Structure 1
Amino acid sequence: MTDTLFDYFTAGELPTPTLPTEEAVALLRDVHGLDAELGSLGSQQDQNFLVRPRGAGEPLGVLKISNPVFSETEIEMQDAAAAAVARAEPGLRIPEIVAGPRGPLTGWWETSQGRLHARVISFVPGSTLTGSGYLPPRTVERLGELAAAVSVALAGETHPAAGRVLQWDLQHAERVIAEIAATEPDAEVRDYCAAATAAALAALHPVAAALPRQLGHFDVTDDNVLRPHGVGTLPDAVIDFGDVIESWAVGEIAVTVSSVLHHDGASYASTLPAIAAFDRRRPLSDDEITALWPLVVLRGVVLVLSGRQQVRLDDANDYASGALDREFEILRRAIAVPVEVATARIRHALGRPSADAAAWEGASILPDGIHPVVLDATTLSPLSDEGAWLEPDALDAAARRLLDDGADAVVLPALVPTLLGAPSRTPEEPATVPTAASVWFAAPTRLKLSDGALSMRVGDGIPTSSPEVPARTRVRVLLTTLDPAEVPDAVRPSDLPGWRAVIGDATPALGVTVPEPAADDLLERREAVVAEVQEHYYSRPPRIERGWREYLVGVDGRVYLDMVNNVASVGHAHPRIHAAVSRQTRLLNTNSRFHYAAITEYGERLAATLPDELDTVFFVNSGSEAVDLAIRLGMAATGRTDVVAMAEAYHGWTYASDAVSTSIADNPHALETRPDWVHTVEAANSYRGRHRGPDAARYAPEAVERIRALAAEGHAPAAFLSETFYGNAGGVALPDGYLREVYAAVRDLGGLAIADEVQVGFGRLGSWFWGFRQQGVVPDIVAVAKSIGAGFPLGAVITRREIADRYRTQGYFFSSTGGSPLSSVVGTTVLDIIEDEGLQENARVVGGHLKARLEELGERHPLVGTVHGAGLYLGLEFVRDRDTLQPATEETAAICDRLLELGVVMQPTGDHQNVLKIKPPLCVSRESVDYFADMLDRVLSTGF
């Protein structure tokens, strides 16, 4: 090793030092007086060991034996840069030289491999982001923040060794690539890299001379940041200053974002949070924005070629060989869109001006006399009704129908998200925005083509310049500044701001003008006008404007699998409900004091699903009202005011139903604000409660003892109220015989038994139509809603005639729309659908299959505590420890967010918000629940 600065282009090969571990141990002892144990760590060009003082548990640091090609001045520069960042950013954890028994652990060693420089750098506890697991947006953003912090800290620093030449310096990428490519034996790899390099350099060369330079780390990557151990922590440490140089400042963030690209589900758009965070701290100039993505591409090429070269030189270097696949993935994803598109998307994300490609301004290319009809293929289009969008040829079929109806031409506008033909169950955002305008003609047509600005493709064939197009065949007309071969038929909606820079709207060329979409400020308007406490799912929710069966559809054409929506019991947008509502609103809708058939017929049908003694029905609008009325019935029938409810349950938002709700997840103050007429028994949770497993049989006698003690104190209950399955905890079944014992005790004391079936009733359990059937009991009063209206505001209370009659002592009962003609017709139709379509049996079969899939996940993923429930009323409980049952609350929230990215709507439940509430529409298919289980497996395997 000399004081000559390293120059990659004259250094030749760089095999790593391979000092035997035993020799390194001896040298640490003999030179520095440190008796230590060493564990080998990976490195591209140096040799690294984890150092533990002999007999001690905690690591002391990392022994770094530098490649002999690097000078002492360069090594000193690395340490000085680390110290500069530590001074400027005291909140960051930065490694430093460790002091040993004889002073700082740094210096020269005379070894069997010659003279080597070795130093021990302090151990920074935590974990890196190494591997290709999923990185959530906030973690990606944090990478950008760290890169900016380092860049700002080093911006004013200089060093004599700053001019050294490294192969990783993106200033020299063009030359590095040329030299390594010449040694690459695989022609396919050479050609792939050459094409990527040429496109990147074409964008980079015009701005390269204007790019500012500075000292930088230039390796703030997933491998070189650390986060504290714990759930949801963010990186707060930067390590490995081995690549410190003076180079283009924008290279700092280019290197950082390239390291994001190999992670699960990542794309160029996944890096935007990091770029935006960097720009907030260290603003990027216009030239730097132009250079950024070309540098990411060049970084990918260098990684691929140099990694392959290193393996050829040193086939025993497991670190280098293990990185080959992820390095190729970085390059593959970096060039997944043209450089121009990525750059425009970055500008849009940073709020910087970016000119869109101009729309067609010439004359229509259609023959005179043809007046096209616009094909509306959007989410809101009636053409997508009743699942028509699911057909694989949905677009062509819709166009042909319009032609059959007399249109001489049909035009699908360009650059507008479409639903017709969009896929369902997609783990990535699908490409639903057509880049070209499309036209179908009723007869063979000759177009008026005047120049080459537009490109055309007929059907699924190759592009054509012929003005003759066949009848009833899709013709795509594209307006772009790129080679048309680089433009896909459709792009993702989130990518549209990037593609608009290179694709103009060709729709006017087909005689159609589509107005520019208005800014989407709907969420902000909602939050401004709707009470904050009336929350919405997710912090930035997709805008959902259509549903069908078990699917929900966004305005961007993204189809989500709805695994949480028990309100839409028979499926979204059921055509029989639509037909019934349409017909009834043409006939009559008024309040239930009028005499009409629907209320009687529905009351009879509903009562027929219950035991004979439950023969009298009250109709209301919601589950909260149903529970509220059930409590009032109990009070009126017994002349008492005390009610006993199970703890940790949720029953509604009205005064009475809220009073008996003791779930702190729904109301953090539920326990201290409970009125004195409400009493609780312990939550009979056989998994998480005080009594678990077989011991759960103790809950019932303890509840009986509690109720009898209340009676002895003068608080004999009017009623005992509970769900028949412990719903708020995630569908936990009550212990066998629990309700039989408790109901008997309550009745012995003159009280009534109220079953809250709002969530669990109406066939959701599969094996039982009503939850109380599973317990082998008959309640005195049943409250139900949600499923019975399938999204329509409908609830009911069913009881015995004598109990209902006692309510007269409270006055009369009236609900304006409860039991109205429309409500009653909807309720009857829901019962018909459940019966005719076998939805209870579907809940049993498909739900059983899903539960088995979820239980299998529990065998492989320790985070899964257990699977609750039956049928399509399931709960997947996540715990950090299966012995202590520490709830995995933060993990559950993150899992739900990741599932949304993968196209699944899911939400947490339970007092600890650590249970997935799995209650999809009863029509959910086996294929859909398999997709849900597969995506959950992916999340648990790759991270969240």
Structure 2
Amino acid sequence: MGFNFLEQRELPAPQVDEAAAQQILATHYGLAARATSLGSQQDKNFTVHEDDGTVLGVLKIANPAFTEQEIAAQDAAAQLIADAEPDLRVAVPLQNNAGEKCTAVTGLVDGTAYVRLLEYLPGGTLLESGYLTPAKIAGLGDVAGRVSRALRDFTHPGLDRILQWDLRFGMTVVDDLASHVADENLRGRLRAAAQQAWAHISAVDPELPRQAAHIDLTDANVVVSPSGAPDGVIDFGDLSHTWAVSELAISASSVLGHAGADVTSILPAVAAFHAVRPLSPAEVDALWPMVVLRTAVLIVSGAQQAVLDPDNDYLTEQSDGEMRMFELATSVPVDVMAAVIRAHLGMAQQAHPVTVQAQMLAVDRTAAVTLNLSTTSDLYDRSDLYDSGFISPDDCAEAALHQGAPLVVTRYGEARLCNAARLNQDVPDVVATGLDLWTAVDTDLVAPWDGEVSDAASGRITLRGEHFELTVAGLSSGVRGAVTAGEVLGRCVAHARVGLTVRPVGAPVAPEFTRTDLAPGWLAHTRDPRPLLGLSPLPRDGHGDLLARREASFAPVQEFYYRTPPQIERGRRHYLMSTDGRSYLDMVNNVTVLGHAHPRIAETASRQLRKLNTNSRFNYEAVVEFSERLAALLPEPLDTVFLVNSGSEASDLAIRLATAATGRRDVVAVREAYHGWTYGTDAVSTSTADNPNALATRPDWVHTVESPNSFRGKYRGTEASRYAGDAVAQIEALIAEGRPPAAFICESVYGNAGGMALPDGYLQQVYAAVRAGGGLAISDEVQVGYGRLGQWFWGFEQQDAVPDIVSVAKSVGNGYPVGAVITSRAVADAFSSQGYFFSSTGGSPLSCAIGMTVLDVLRDESLQDNALRVGGHLKTRLEALRDKHPLVGTVHGFGLYLGVEMIRDPQTLEPAPEETSAICDRMLELGVVIQPTGDHQNILKTKPPLCIDVEAADFYVDTLDRVLSEGW
């Protein structure tokens, strides 16, 4: 046998300094290289590099307690994996001067030291990644699965060893080493957790396959590729013959030590491992107990090693992470986590149904009302909830009882939106593990089965039957002791809430509400109480995979946000709500300028639809009044309005107006801009983010001028004023060539570049040049207009310029399809040469009524002032992040039209698109909806509804600060 921890419990790391390591390299490998000590618990490791920093390998000096045969097994296993999994990088040993992979050195330590120079795998380890994305965690599981698959049939005499890291001996390790933990309370918790985990593992031990395993495929021993994907394996020092599933348990446990991790963070690793090397039901049951046991082993082992090697900084650095791992691992009962894992793998077990001997309530069940408190419930539609967004189940029940319902119940397993805080970085506890009921009159509640009543205190009792336990909370009185089915347990007071929870005997007691990610685990250990009340179970959601259905029927070119998006079915003010009962802060929806589901818009739409909705060929007041109000918002001579459905249509019509009025076809557009999806607006859209072939596929009538990007463009800072001169020169050249442009079209604040301001005087100069040639100036205000800038209602006002044609949409209808073009009467009249113009629903009574209500709310709620005040606060706080995090290059924009540009290098301004995308994904996990924009997709598009308040703005910045600090 090789090393036996049970006989030698102390393994201080070899005391070898860097000078000695360099002597070994020179003597045995012929290398005149430098050696730098690496962290290690029981061995001694060094990076080997040349003077210029080029890394040549890793020198590993094994603890002298390990035998040559054990070392040989490790080298053979590494080579086997390298051969079996060519896509994995494996740190195999390099040959010494004698052509051998292992060098026996005497006189270095007490005994023989086995030394190897291992291949260096560049890229760094997962440990250095900070926060681990689901993709990286899945990559870790995939690596572990592939290693396990490769080692399945590997045998070697060097595997015959007993290590403290082998979870087969984990309980012994905790028992023997816990005394080194100074904190008595922690010591007791470690032992208790290990004992409970060991009991679960022991129950399935005979069914657990055993094989050779690395058992140290942690974040510290898995190397990543340049893209950050795990693809390399190092350090085979703990190779053993043990439970196969412990490979995954040890890998998964390391995930818990990372910032932002939670218990369900391991699920991508489990699924990836299972896809490569399928888990048996017994292994699934043993997995989480092994995670718990592993964390306990780490802490007691670290405590012992700190005594043996007090100057080892590596141990101190690991201790905080190991404590976090233990706290998370023990935060959820092992049975619950096992059920969560089974559900995630599609291996959920069939639940035994509840059997009822007596119905608990004597009421008319046919008239009972079941409250729907999910995100899609109509109960949240009340306009009086608009500001708070909260709803009280008691109030809803009271209303139903008042309308004659004898019994009101909530739904078991439902994600209740009313339980979710509006601003919360954590997944909220919203899923009900039981149900609540209210009765119209005082009603006795009887026992549904024979059993024993306990915990009769403060209106709460627990009835334990042969197979199930029932907990009732809220009774006015309760019995105690043995009861038979049908015997009174207590009394429900009329209109007072009573809670019911049912679980199998011995199951862990569930919280009243749990998170959606843990819900499969807790619901597997609870039951729907409806049958106890004589009510039929509710049908399960039968909508299927919404994304798959979308893919089948909705053209895929119509993209959606995020790779795995939440299902959003409700909005309110500056929040979006998912069917999982979570509230997200909406930082991108510039369409809903007033906020989502504004009650005045809803009331206007409802009222108008009850009266009339037709087209503008009929004579009705709304189209006139709305046109008058729009024209009044603009300077002279812009006094004539066309009404359409969208921004694309508005800007398309603006181009047609210009070509008709001038009799020309050429148009000048600015690069990096987006104007719409129609033929005309697509032609003048030059953003390569929206169309990678934009610049190469422009028709010959479109001429582009340089993007006036003052941050990363051709001219920067004070030099940005030169953009206008260059654009003027191009326009004058077109005129000289006999192709004077019909129009120049530009967003008045550079939206696609993240809300970047145009250089001062830019529009004045370019407008003058195009007009000098007989052309017209078009201001695309689709995104920027309507008070979003705070100080200015229209973007062109910031430039102190007046266009000839203005296109607007988005904000005009607060999400309803309303767009407009405002121009002079002369330009409008010239369009008659093209025939007549008509838009079926543009200018309809409904569109106009909504458009006027939007203007009313903007005024009445002072939303432009809010944009100025909150936007100024938000920009100041975002600019402070620039000083703290090098990734933040600058903050563009005004008011609530902002962009946070991410860069990799402050000198070259290299864009950071991958980082920006990952940041957006992490922000979603923490409750914020934000998306990239710009040609480089490296700008956080920050354009929330104008009703956003300072509290929400601070939440956005604080969350972004956390992501930039912890990682993404």
Task: Give the TM-score range, shorter chain.
Answer: over 0.9
For residues 871 and 474 of structure 2, the distance between their equivalents in structure 1, rounded to whole angstroms, comes to 43
Contact 2:756 2:892 in 1 (8 A): yes
Q: What corresponds to 2:415 in structure 1? A: 417
1:681 deviates by 1.2
Q: Secondary structure at the match of 1:161?
A: helix
Residues 743 and 33 of structure 1: CA distance in aligned 2, closer, same or farther (over 3 Å): closer
Q: What does residue 665 of structure 2 align with?
A: 641
Q: Note the 1:70-85 alignment, pairs <5 A.
A: 70-85=66-81
The alpha-carbon distance between structure 1 residues 499 and 618, as it changes in their structure 2 partners (threshold 3 A), is same
- The DSSP-based 3-state class of the residue aligned with 2:890 is strand
SS at match of 1:842: helix
Change (3 A) 1:421 1:92: closer
Residue 356 (1) aligns with residue 354 (2) = no
Q: Give the structure 1 partner of residue 380 of structure 2.
A: 384
1:239 has 2:234 as partner: yes
C-alpha contact (below 8 Å) 1:149/1:281 kept by paired residues: yes
Task: Summarize the Cα distance change of 1:57–1:323 in structure 2 as closer, same or farther, 3 Å threshold.
Answer: closer
SS at match of 1:8: coil
Find out whether 1:329 has 2:327 as its counterpart: no
**Alpha-carbon separation, structure 2, partners of 1:215 and 1:167:** 16
What is the alpha-carbon distance in structure 1 between the residues aligned to residue 184 and residue 433 of structure 2?
33
Structure 1 length-normalised TM: 0.96
Q: Deviations over 1:646-670 (max 9, x none)?
A: 1121111111111111111112222
Deviations 1:707-757 (A, max 9, x none): 010011111111111110111111111000000001111111111111000
Structure 1 residue 39 corresponds to structure 2 residue 30: no
Is the CA contact (8 Å cut-off) linking 1:340 and 1:501 kept in structure 2? no
Match of 2:521 in 1: 498
From 629, 632, 646, the counterpart of 1:622:
646
Residue 282 of structure 1 corresponds to which residue in structure 2?
A: 277
In the alignment, what sits opposite 1:632? 656
* Stretch of structure 1 that moved more, 415-424 or 503-512: 503-512
How far the C-alpha of 1:113 sits from its partner, in A, is 5.0
CA separation in 1, counterparts of 2:931 and 2:445? Answer: 53
User: Counterparts in 2 of 1:115-130, with a 5 A limit?
Assistant: 115-130=112-127
Show the 5 A alignment for 1:23-62.
Answer: 23-30=20-27, 33-53=30-50, 55-62=51-58
8 A contact 1:581–1:825 mirrored in 2? yes
Task: Say if 1:149 and 1:421 are closer, same or farther in 2 by CA, change over 3 A.
Answer: closer
Match of 2:439 among 435, 438, 441: 441
1:847 and 1:97 map into 2 onto residues whose CA distance is 59
Q: How does 1:768-787 map to 2 (within 5 A)?
A: 768-787=792-811
% same residue:
52
Gaps of at least 5 residues in structure 1 are: none
Do the aligned partners of residues 613 and 364 (structure 1) sit closer, same or farther apart at CA in structure 2, a change above 3 Å counting?
A: farther
The whole-number CA distance in structure 2 between the counterparts of 1:824 and 1:847 is 29
Distance 1:789 1:887 in 2: 35
Q: Report the CA distance between 1:366 and its aligned residue.
A: 1.5
Q: Which amino acid aligns with 1:329?
A: R
Q: How does 1:291-690 map to 2 (within 5 A)?
A: 291-359=286-354, 361-369=356-364, 372-385=368-381, 386=383, 388=385, 390=388, 394-449=392-447, 450=449, 451=451, 452=463, 453-458=468-473, 466-481=489-504, 486-513=509-536, 514-690=538-714
Q: How many residues in Structure 1 have an aligned counterpart in Structure 2?
A: 938
Residue type of the alignment partner of 2:879? E
Cα drift, residue 825 of structure 1? 0.5
Over 3 Å counting, the alpha-carbon distance change for 1:404 and 1:190 in structure 2 is farther
How much has 1:220 moved relative to structure 2? 0.8
Structure 1 counterpart SS, 2:718: helix
| Cα pair 1:360 1:505 within 8 Å, conserved | no
How far does residue 349 in structure 1 lie from its aligned partner after superposition?
2.1
What letter corresponds to residue 424 of structure 2 in structure 1? T
Name the amino acid aligned to 1:186. D
Secondary structure, in 3 states, of the residue corresponding to 2:287? helix
> Larger deviation: 622-631 or 909-918?
909-918
Q: Report what 2:455 is aligned to.
A: none
**Matched position secondary structure for 2:947:** coil
Distance 2:526 2:866 in 1: 47
Corresponding residue for residue 200 of structure 1: 197
Which has the larger displacement, 357-366 or 496-505? 357-366
Contact kept, 8 Å, 2:180 with 2:300, in 1: the verdict is: no
Secondary structure of the structure 2 residue equivalent to 1:222: coil
Structure 1 residue 139 corresponds to structure 2 residue 162: no
Worse-matched range after superposition: 865-874 or 310-319: 310-319
Change (3 A) 1:341 1:484: closer
Q: Is the 8 A contact 2:899 2:941 kept in 1?
A: yes
Give the letter aligned to residue 751 of structure 2: G
What CA RMSD, in Å, does the superposition of the two structures yield over aligned residues? 2.2
* Rounded Cα–Cα distance in structure 2 between residues aligned with 1:753 and 1:12: 83
Contact between 1:592 and 1:819, CA under 8 Å: does it hold in 2? Answer: yes
Aligned partners of 1:640 and 1:393: how far apart in 2? Answer: 59
Equivalents in 1 of 2:327, 2:584: separation in Å? 27
CA deviation after TM superposition for structure 1 residue 290, in Å: 1.9
Cα distance change of structure 1 residues 682 and 750 upon mapping to structure 2, 3 Å threshold: same
CA contact (8 A) 1:106 1:120 kept: no
- Deviation of 1:521 after TM superposition, in Å, equals 2.2
Q: Which amino acid aligns with 1:395?
A: P
Supply the distance in 2 between the matched residues of 1:885 and 1:183 (Cα, whole angstroms): 52
In structure 1, distance between residues paired with 2:384 and 2:257: 36
Q: Distance in 1 between matches of 2:7 and 2:496?
A: 61
CA shift digits 1:257-280 (9 cap, x unpaired): 111112222223221211111112
**Farther-moved stretch of structure 1 (403-412 vs 829-838):** 403-412
The 1:583–1:42 alpha-carbon spacing in structure 2 relative to 1, beyond 3 Å, is same
Counterparts of 1:927 and 1:627, CA distance in 2:
36
Label 1:357 to 1:736 Cα distance change in 2 as closer, same or farther (>3 A). farther
CA distance in 1, matches of 2:390, 2:7: 59
Deviation sequence 1:32-81 (CA, Å, 0-9, x none): 5543322121111112222224x353122222222222222222222222
Instruction: Kindly provide the CA deviation profile for residues 570-627 of structure 1, in whole angstroms up to 9, marking residues without a partner as x.
Output: 0000000011111111111110111111111111111111113211111000001101
CA deviations over 1:813-872 (Å, ceiling 9, x no partner): 111111111100000000011111011111111111111111111112111111111111
